[in-house]
Amino acid sequence: MHVDNLPVGSHAAPPQGDRTPSPAPPVVTARRVTRTYGRTRALTGVDLDVRAGEVLGLVGHNGAGKSTLMRVLAGLEACDEGTVTVGGQEASRDVAPGTGPFRAVRMAYQETSLCPDLTVAENIWVSSRHCLPRLGWRRAASRAVARRLDEMFPSHRVAPRDRIEDLSLAQRQMVEIVRASLVDRLELLILDEPTESLGPDAARSLYAYVRRLTAQGTAVLLISHRIREVLSVADRVAVMRDGAVVAERPAAGLGEQDVLALMGAEVVEPTATPAPARAAGERPVVATLRGATGHGLHDVSITVGRGEVVGLAGLAGQGQQQVLERLWRPVRRDTTVAGTRAYVPGDRQRSGVLPLWSVAENLIVTAMRGLARYGVRRTGAEDVAVRDWVDRLAIRGGADAGMTELSGGNQQKVIVARAFASTADLVLLDDPFRGVDVHTKTDLYTLIRQEAAGGRSVVWYSSENAEMAHCDRVYVLRAGRVVAELTGAEISEERIIAVSFAESESTGAQR
């Protein structure tokens, strides 16, 4: 068996010439699949068929469960309930990628799964070693990867001896896709945001290759934020929302607006009463970014007034965190921040929780500095502040509970309280409410409004567009640029979704 044998075999369905989805046998089937992380239900019962020889587009907003579903379909993790069937074989509970039925399912990851210190050929060995000869694997892998790169991306300029860390982002993405496709038998190829860092030419040649693959009976699952792109390539489109597939439609005849509507633009969340919007000009300015460029930002200008809640919206990773980073550490000339700052991190486990400490210790660590005299803590004043905040936010377990004994929502309360307990003038929120239960969220929204009314400024990045209703003003970012500024009644989930997905021809070539 050779690595670059294309999957033409008895298992594959007869080639399909036309694009009309015909009832070909499904290569992968998911039935009532659920998956829970801690208290977050990432998948709430997914039913999905991927049929041989089709391109199935998978769309959905942030946190709809796309990533988790892909990981389950690729055999990277098992589902809690339900079944996943690959090639007619039901997957067992102790799954491992590349074993059993999952050997014929390959996935190209958005963040790539390449080893940066290894060469292209060596990375191919890591993922496709069972299709390579024991001796001379390097030459075989080099030849295979070079040939496949030529087929998929004629202008790749990647040599098999190049190290991944020396490649550009686009080239890494190409290698990642080629890596996933190089296997002796390929039934399903999962592409996660494959064109995110590719230029328009590379994207075109990729999709041309995808067409050739499907013509030979391979199924392709395409995940992308670029809805127009999905519609032009896919045979069918599956829409995910809140951990389930809510619609499966043929792509033909479907418009961008239809998909956006299916994705949740029509959902009416319990409405929060937005504060009466005051124009930014009426307030004294606390922080500004003037044409900030570099580190993923392009000419971003933002002002934050005193007592104002400013939202940063858009798809994940479009530069919102870079804006927060600049405000947190205003070292560049294009950023000015008057007053002290506090930061509420979104990645609780990594940069929020101090795991060995109690709730009280976690809560007071920022405020401690302001309360202390000559570097010596004033525990009395600290205790008062802690008790006040524990009561105010109703933190379960009380001040003396271990931080890690708390639920995610209560941990997040402590970390939010940590920032607001300090005397900071500007509080930066880095999508802190992802995976937090509704009650906690409501408490924290109220807190934010109260604190803003008290004269504090808040800059709030959120991937949940509904949250933006609590802001006075919202900047929507895409590809490191501010593409819209919404105020007061303009702020709505539909508007934000529409603005963040709207494609211009240039976005593909940006990076």
Partner 1 sequence: MTNLVASALPSRAGWRRTGPAMVSAVAMVAMIAVCSSLQSEVLTVPGLALVLSTTVPLVIAAQAQMVLMAVGDIDLGIGNFVGLVTVITATKLVSSPGTGALLLLGLVAAYAVLGALIHLRRVPSLIATLGASFVWLGLGLFLLPTPGGSTPEWLASFGSWQPAGFPAPLLPILAVAALVWLLSARSSVGVRVRALGSNPVALQRAGLRPLAARVVAYAVAGGLGVLSGLVLASQTGGGDVSSASSYTLITVAAVILGGGSFAGGTAVPWGVAIGGITLGLVSVVLSLLDVPSNMQSAVQGVIVLAVLAGRVVVGKVLR
Partner 2 sequence: MTLRTLARPWIWGFAAAALVWVLILAISNQGGGQTVSLALSLAPYLVIVGLGQMLVITAGPGNIDVSVAPIISLAGFVAVQVTATTGSVPVGILAGIGTGLAVAVVSVVAILGLSVPPIIATLAAGLIASSLTLSLADGFTAVPDDGLRRLLNLRPAGVPVLAVAVAALTALVVALLRRTTYGRSLLAVGQSRPAAERAGVPVARVIAITYLASGALAGLAGALLAAYIAPSPDLGTRYLLDSVAVVVIGGTLISGGRAVPVGIWGSALFFILLDGLVNLVGWNTAAQNLLKGGLVLFVLFLAGGGTLRNPGATTRSRRRLRPAAATTAGTSTGENSNG
Cα distance from N-terminal residue to C-terminal residue, the chain: 38
11 touches partner 1 by CB under 8 A: no
Measured from the CB of residue 134, what is the shortest distance to partner 2 in angstroms?
Answer: 27
349 touches partner 1 by CB under 8 A: no
118 touches partner 1 by CB under 8 A: yes
- Integer Cα distance of 306 and 332 in angstroms: 22
- Integer Cα distance of 308 and 284 in angstroms: 10
Give the range of 34-42, 109-117, 385-393, 438-446 binding partner 1 by CB under 8 A: 109-117
CA 261 from centre of chain: 20
Site string for partner 1, 61-90 (x = CB under 8 A): ---------------x--------------
- Integer Cα distance of 149 and 499 in angstroms: 35
357 touches partner 2 by CB under 8 A: yes
DSSP string, 9-22: STTSPPP--SSS--
Q: What are φ and ψ of residue 315, in 5° steps?
A: -65, 160
Measured from the CB of residue 231, what is the shortest distance to partner 2 in angstroms?
Answer: 21
Closest among 264, 350, 313, 347 to 462, alpha carbons compared: 313
Give the range of 228-236, 260-268, 398-406, 448-456 binding partner 2 by CB under 8 A: 398-406
The correct pick among 12, 30, 42, 251 for binding partner 2 (CB under 8 A) is 42
SS (H, E, C) 381-415: HHHHHHHHHHHHCCCCCCCCCEHHHCCHHHHHHHH
Measured from the CB of residue 421, what is the shortest distance to partner 2 in angstroms?
Answer: 11
- Integer Cα distance of 326 and 317 in angstroms: 15
Instruction: Give strand pairing partners of 90.
Output: 85
- Integer Cα distance of 149 and 156 in angstroms: 7
The correct pick among 78, 365, 401, 483 for binding partner 2 (CB under 8 A) is 365
Show the DSSP H helices in 297-337 as ranges. 320-328
- Integer Cα distance of 106 and 28 in angstroms: 12
The site partner of 34 among partner 2, partner 1, none (C-beta below 5 to 8 Å per kind) is none
Give the range of 124-132, 222-230, 244-252, 366-374 binding partner 1 by CB under 8 A: 124-132
The correct pick among 17, 270, 281, 375 for binding partner 2 (CB under 8 A) is 375
Number of other CB atoms surrounding residue 11 within 10 Å? 15
Instruction: Decide: helix, strand or coil at residue 449.
Output: helix
The site partner of 150 among partner 2, partner 1, none (C-beta below 5 to 8 Å per kind) is none
342 touches partner 2 by CB under 8 A: yes
Instruction: Please say whether the beta carbons of 281 and 82 come within 8 A.
Output: no
- Residues near partner 2 (CB under 8 A): 37, 40, 42, 62-63, 66-68, 71, 77, 110-112, 169, 193, 196-197, 296, 315-319, 321-322, 341-345, 347, 349-357, 361, 365-366, 368-369, 372, 375-377, 379, 402, 404-405, 418, 422, 424, 434-435, 463, 480
- Residues near partner 1 (CB under 8 A): 76, 96-99, 109, 113-118, 122-123, 125-127, 129, 134, 137-138, 155, 157, 162-163, 165-168, 170-171, 199, 511
